[in-house]
A and B are shown apart, each in its own frame.
Chain A
Amino acid sequence: SQQGEEDPQALSIQEGENATMNCSYKTSINNLQWYRQNSGRGLVHLILIRSNEREKHSGRLRVTLDTSKKSSSLLITASRAADTASYFCATGRYGGGADGLTFGKGTHLIIQP
């Protein structure tokens, strides 16, 4: 099964700055999803971008997808302390996704007040 890998593993920035994290995956996909996990909690879905989309926005989130490079990025603008969490990208185990998702190890984001 394919796997997404996030980069960097950890990121610490000042409140108000923008945070960018990247994800690479191995094989073709139908879509790519980003999730957030607060410490010790379940995951929360942030955004889904389809393979025929190049960019998608949701509030302060901007996701890009480059299928030729098999990579995606998540940008959080004007960061807040509440954005402190781990962020994961996820792709379908066999591309389609109906049979579950494969997650990377995540980027741990810390927003310094």
Chain B
Amino acid sequence: DGGITQSPKYLFRKEGQNVTLSCEQNLNHDAMYWYRQDPGQGLRLIYYSQIVNDFQKGDIAEGYSVSREKKESFPLTVTSAQKNPTAFYLCASSIDGRASYEQYFGPGTRLTVT
């Protein structure tokens, strides 16, 4: 099956700990994205990568970090510097990072930090 996988589905962490969310795609897409969704809200862009070995900050990058060492993988680390990390995190990909195409989303990871 082709698609985007995110793991785990639910993640619980103590305040002050860093945590890494996994995102893998086998669609052979160049571009990958991380979004955050809070209850009753739309999605906000955290980081994006238009091609392997390159990534850019989105609208709310503070307290997050990413890497793009492989085309199929785009992990997101939520650091202890993120003030309100509890949220639903969605990873997406699109075929080409040079223009606007439809994005394919993973099932999401719900992170709870206490």
Q: Which residues on A are within 8 Å of B, measured CB to CB?
A: 1, 4, 30-31, 33, 35, 40-45, 48, 88, 90, 92-93, 96-106
Contact = CB atoms under 8 A, between A and B. Distances in A.
B40 interface: yes
Contact of B106 (A31, A42, A48, A101): A42
21 contacts: A1-B59, A33-B102, A35-B105, A41-B108, A42-B105, A43-B90, A43-B103, A45-B102, A88-B42, A88-B43, A93-B59, A96-B100, A98-B31, A98-B50, A98-B99, A99-B56, A100-B58, A101-B43, A102-B45, A102-B59, A103-B44
Given A97-B100, A99-B48, A100-B58, A44 B42 contact: no
B100 A42 contact: no
Nearest to A9: B40
A109 B44 CA distance: 21
Given A31-B100, A45-B104, A98-B50, A105 B59 contact: no
A84 B84 CA distance: 30
Nearest to B6: A42
B114 interface: no
Given A42-B90, A43-B105, A105 B100 contact: no
Name the interface size band of chain B. 20 to 34
B107 interface: yes
B97 interface: yes
Given A40-B88, A42-B90, 16 more contacts: A30-B99, A30-B100, A31-B100, A33-B102, A35-B105, A41-B108, A42-B108, A43-B105, A44-B105, A45-B104, A48-B102, A93-B59, A98-B50, A99-B50, A100-B58, A101-B45
